Amino acid sequence: MPHPRQVETELALFTELEIAYLREQPLGRLATVRQDGVVQNNPVGFAYNQALETIDIGGHNMAASQKFRNVAAGSTVSLVVDDVISLATFQVRCLEIRGVAEALPETTDAEGRALGPTIRIRPRRILSFNVDPDNPAAGQRTVAGEQV
């Protein structure tokens, strides 16, 4: 039986509030692992892909980047999106999205426009806190496949 804060689900991967939070945040930090085991962590722009329920990461010279090569070599990934709600009480909101990723040489958006090389994250585990004001300690859940 899962821990009360750890739920396995086959419903939508993200809650409506989590999707809204992802859409309002311009930046996240993507962690990948090089083949020699060294962790790399980079600030990245990202977009929630509603049709696929993935996180898509693009950017300048993406195909030439170390993070793209790490993903192409099979690295699991973690994307952290967070912000500070209040400096006075140092209240933070955060989503951590762990999963498997693909290094795609060419992608298109929902309207068919070319996006270029993209890292596409397929979430496997989501950790969330203070994103839902009615449930600030929303916890963690495995959303697909095995835990990462």
pLDDT at residue 4, rounded to an integer:
38
From first to last of its 148 residues, what are the pLDDT tens digits of the chain? 343 344 444 457 999 999 999 999 999 999 999 999 999 999 999 999 998 999 999 988 999 999 999 999 999 999 999 999 888 888 899 999 999 999 999 887 767 777 899 999 999 999 999 999 888 777 878 887 655 5
pLDDT at residue 43, rounded to an integer:
97
Q: pTM, whole model, 2 decimals?
A: 0.84
pLDDT at residue 25, rounded to an integer:
96
pLDDT at residue 147, rounded to an integer:
53
pLDDT at residue 5, rounded to an integer:
41
pLDDT at residue 133, rounded to an integer:
85
pLDDT at residue 9, rounded to an integer:
42
Q: What structural domains and CATH numbers belong to the chain?
A: 16-132 (2.30.110.10)
pLDDT at residue 146, rounded to an integer:
56
HEC string for the chain: CCCCCECCCCCCCCCHHHHHHHHHCCCEEEEEECCCCCEEEEEECCEEECCCCEEEECCCCHHHCHHHHHHHCCCEEEEEEEEEEECCCCEEEEEEEEEEEEEEEEEECCCCCEEEEEEEEEEEEEEEECCCCCCCCCEEEECCCCCC
